[in-house]
Amino acid sequence: MITAAEKTPPDFCIDDLIDDPDTKIIVCCGSGGVGKTTTAAAVGVRAAERGRDVVVLTVDPARRLAQALGLTELDNTPRLVEGVDGELHAMMLDMKRTFDEIVEAHAEPERARQILANPFYQSLSSSLSGTQEYMAMEKLGQLHRSGAWDLIVVDTPPSRSALDFLDAPERMGRFLDGRLIKILMAPAKAGGRFGLKVVTAGFGMFTNAITKVLGGQLLKDVQTFVLAFDTMFGGFRERAEQTYRLLQAPGTAFLVVAAPEPDALREASYFVERLAEERMPLAGMVLNRVHRSDASHLSAVRSEAAAETLEDRGAHPLAAALLRLHAERMHVTAREARLCESFTSSHPAVPRATVAAMAEDVHDLDGLRCIARDLAGEHEESAA
């Protein structure tokens, strides 16, 4: 039987993680809208101010992170963050630019020109499902191989599912190795009129059907793209495998970020289990936007009763309104506590850090430092 004490998760302190020189990569993951980007930025600020040379890679298109870091913009190039007592760089993934850089780096100049100008490639590099997640992995690998920073903090994409980041390399590999791609490239690779005739005889009915669906020009664009891209397929798979192994290495640490909401905690539970299956190192869970009260000793029931008494007497309407507001807050904290207890009962060994809900969105370095202090366990405890 698991006792109540065994169900209490151990505390997680971000300082223990960032002060360890063996920690090279911290990956913030979780479902969309739980604060991954802000958490990643707060971790980066904290690490830089504790002596690490840090780069934060974000994939969030929102401008609030750039504003919080005091930058006018973020792009595919790491930019130094001023106002931080240490070395902190930040960048935002440009999915298409990263794809273009790969082509330019791994293809002959003329072949690269053909690929970049191909209409199918332009669509693929901008909109194919999973491309953003794959390019985030590519950029992580590039940053690690550069050796320019001793800590990389990654904010994973705001995907429909938190698992997409881990699945992206395999999904891209399946696309590049897919039967459809191989069939479409066959006429372009057959060579000579005889070869083309043989291929056409073998796949005539299929290609006619595909042409009706895709259109003749798109089919030609696909075939031209695949032929030009063929020599790079192996490199994509190889780099994806290298980055995947990097994510499994002891120097990598995953932080699962969640909010005290059913869907977010359910996704966090899936991710914790997936990380275990893939043998990827989980450092802890960040429970974000948790409501607290400095008057938690005053229960919701007592607050509501006191407010009702004041209202019946027609006295102190402001005090009665404040008591009802406090009662609502206590109901929220109780609901959040029940949700967290449910998660903990399933994952009692996962360390946890709690970040308080803030009155407004984080918009500057001081706000990020406030979050970092919560991650380090430095927040003031509410009265018992």
Q: What is the pLDDT at residue 61?
A: 63
Res. 18: pLDDT tops 60: yes
Distance of CA 239 to the CA centre of its chain: 19
pLDDT tens-digit map of 147-190: 999 999 998 876 655 567 777 766 766 666 555 555 555 554 55
* Average pLDDT of the residues in 183-205: 47
Residue found under tokens 């909401």: 261
* Average pLDDT of the residues in 194-223: 50
Residue found under tokens 């994509």: 236
Q: What is the pLDDT at residue 163?
A: 63
Quote the percentage of the chain above a pLDDT of 70: 75
Nearest CA among 33, 30, 57 for reference residue 43: 57
What are the structural domains, with CATH classification, of the chain? 11-291+357-375 (3.40.50.300), 294-350 (no CATH)
Res. 328: pLDDT tops 70: yes
pTM for this predicted structure: 0.81
Phi/psi at 89 (5° precision): -115, 155
Higher pLDDT, 71 or 251: 251
